[in-house]
Amino acid sequence: MLEIKDVSVRYGVIEAIKRVSFEVNEGEIVTLIGANGAGKTTILKTISGLLRSSNGSITFKGRNITKADARTIVKAGISHVPEGRHVFGGMSVKENLDMGAFLRKDSKAIEEDLDRIFRSFPVLKERLNQDAATLSGGEQQMLAMGRSLLSSPDLILLDEPSMGLAPLFIQEIFNIIEEVNKRGTTVLLVEQNANVALEIADRGYVFETGKIVAAGTGKELLASDEVQKAYLGG
């Protein structure tokens, strides 16, 4: 579904991503793990059109999207839940959700998707008219995910969905990620909580200073002594 080939990204003179190549197949959960500053967030922003690569190519469902803008990429079927959630304060939960569907015209299908989101995140239905800024961190994460799913994506990019959340919320969020995947949405996940991420992942890639240094199935990476010592507290 998604192919990243020899992609490099620069911030001025600093090369944050160095000729990275990887792929995400349809129906998979693929996770990117690594230390802070390793380039994981940068690669998600580049896929979603928020940053430009200095070389290489990004192909989605056979279409080259390397130079496409963010609106075009959302329309093509990629949705991005950014690090830090970024809900719209001063707007209600319902208004935030509506923003996720801004490119869609199929009102009946939108209502059906909204019903599914409320089944996954019942608290959002309870808080529909509440200012999004007044939600807890976990509730804001649910809102950010719900908003993203309302674009009806084929591929969802999730950046640190468990950041700052209580353990109870973390497990709930990961259960929902698996549920979303089972319904047919492919997932590319960046996550500091590497143990939990690799447990649900079909495959994973380990980033280090802008490069991929290891790859394998979730189980293989969980069992790797090097990965255990460096990222899993083993």
Question: 123, 79 in Cβ contact below 8 A?
Answer: no
Residues 6+ apart with CB under 8 A from 107: none
Query: Can you give the length of the chain in residues?
Result: 234
Is residue 37 pLDDT above 80, yes or no? yes
Number of domains in the chain: 1
What is the pLDDT, as a whole number, of residue 233?
62
- Please give the model's pTM, rounded to 2 decimal places: 0.91
CA distance 119 to 113: 10
Side-chain-side CA neighbours of residue 180 (13 Å) = 31
Residue at 147: amino acid letter:
R
Whichever domain contains 172, its CATH number is 3.40.50.300
Which domain, by its residues, includes 144?
A: 2-231
Q: How confident is the model at residue 203 (pLDDT cuts 50, 70, 90)?
A: very high
**DSSP letter string, the chain:** -EEEEEEEEEETTEEEEEEEEEEE-TT-EEEEE--TTSSHHHHHHHHTTSS--SEEEEEETTEE-TT--HHHHHHHTEEEE-TT----TTSBHHHHHHHHTTT---HHHHHHHHHHHHHH-HHHHHTTTSBGGGS-HHHHHHHHHHHHHTT--SEEEEE-TTTT--HHHHHHHHHHHHHHHHTT-EEEEE-S-HHHHHHH-SEEEEEETTEEEEEEEHHHHHH-HHHHHHHS--
According to the per-residue pLDDT averaged within each range, which of 168-172, 185-189, 193-197 is highest? 185-189
According to the per-residue pLDDT averaged within each range, which of 33-47, 154-168, 220-234 is highest? 33-47
Q: Cα–Cα–Cα angle for 121, 217, 189, nearest 5°? A: 35
Task: Give the burial class of 120: count Cβ atoms within 10 A of its Cβ; 0-12 exposed, 13-18 middle, 19 or more buried.
Answer: middle
Is residue 234 pLDDT above 60, yes or no? no
Residues 6+ apart with CB under 8 A from 183: 116
Q: How confident is the model at residue 103 (pLDDT cuts 50, 70, 90)?
A: confident
Mean pLDDT of the chain: 92
What is the pLDDT, as a whole number, of residue 207?
94
Q: Secondary structure of 1-40 in the HEC alphabet?
A: CEEEEEEEEEECCEEEEEEEEEEECCCCEEEEECCCCCCH
